[in-house]
């Protein structure tokens, strides 16, 4: 087992790239800690946000490619965000599978070649996984996408227009989503749901089924007034605050 940790403060921005699967969770600490049992190891370093651009991390033995990651700079064009961050992020690179713990207040960007699970975060989360992705007990979600199943359970969204996608099934629960137009394209159909006055725009696209979880009144929209899978939240799906 390889383990590395770094002093980060209470509200760092952490960028994680995994060549396999990764579990990321918030913890009551001011350090970022990463560990892996993979022989491809890990890197943990502090970098300037401007230096994290469209990059490629690649490893191979002979003609066999072990992992190949392409990653966009999450701070491009965001001068206000860069100023607030003082131009630095903590970057974790995992060659294979691993686990990363970050302070509860972290802003997080995750890219996993395989699956990813993100949980117990009070900061802003952006996550992408090539296979399954689960985001739960998260306060603020900016973006999420998965090549297979995507499960979202968060308190609120960061912004007013969003696109979430999954190659297979997508389960979507945002606790404070009370005023939104939700446009859904799933297996063989398209349907729209209006919550409140529909001010926030949310697009959900899946190769399988989309399930919208909400305790709000849902209004079907013309021309066909079709509604798909809609469920009421249960106590098991409620986000636990880490205040």
User: What are the residues whose beta carbons fall under 8 Å from the beta carbon of 40, sequence distance 6 or more?
Assistant: 19, 59, 66, 67, 94, 95, 96
Collect all residues with Cβ–Cβ distance below 8 Å to 15 and sequence separation of at least 6: 52, 74, 89, 90, 91, 92, 109
d(CA 147, CA 149): 7
pTM: 0.83
Q: Give pLDDT tens digits along the chain (243 positions).
A: 899 999 999 999 999 999 999 999 999 999 999 999 988 789 999 988 766 544 444 444 445 444 444 545 444 444 433 444 446 899 999 999 999 999 999 999 999 999 999 999 999 999 999 999 999 999 999 999 999 999 999 999 998 899 999 999 999 999 999 999 999 999 878 999 999 999 999 999 999 999 999 999 999 998 789 999 999 998 754 544 544
Helix, strand, coil share of the chain (percent; to 5):
5, 60, 35
Q: Distance between CA 178 and CA 133 in Å, rounded?
A: 24
């Amino acid at each position: 087992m390889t383990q590395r940790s770094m002093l980060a403060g209470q509200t760092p921005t952490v960028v994680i790239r995994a060549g396999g699967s990764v579990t990321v969770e918030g913890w009551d600490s001011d350090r970022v800690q990463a560990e892996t049992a993979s022989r491809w190891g890990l890197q943990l370093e502090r970098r300037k946000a401007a230096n994290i651009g469209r990059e490629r991390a690649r490893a191979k033995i002979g003609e066999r490619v072990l992992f190949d990651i392409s990653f966009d700079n999450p701070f491009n064009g965001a001068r206000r965000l860069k100023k607030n961050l003082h131009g630095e992020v903590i970057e974790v690179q995992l060659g294979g599978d691993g686990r990363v713990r970050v302070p509860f207040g972290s802003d997080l960007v995750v890219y996993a070649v395989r699956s990813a699970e993100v949980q117990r975060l009070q900061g802003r989360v952006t996550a992408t996984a090539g296979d399954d992705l689960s985001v739960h007990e998260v306060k603020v979600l900016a973006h999420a996408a998965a090549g297979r199943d995507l499960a979202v359970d968060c308190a609120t969204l960061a912004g007013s227009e969003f696109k979430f996608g999954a190659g297979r099934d997508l389960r979507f629960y945002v606790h404070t989503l009370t005023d939104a137009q939700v446009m859904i394209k799933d297996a063989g159909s398209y349907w729209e749901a209006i919550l409140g006055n529909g001010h926030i725009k949310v697009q959900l696209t899946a190769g399988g089924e989309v399930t919208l979880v909400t305790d709000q009144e849902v209004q079907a929209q013309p021309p066909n007034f079709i509604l798909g899978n809609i469920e009421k939240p249960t106590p098991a799906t409620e986000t636990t605050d880490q205040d």
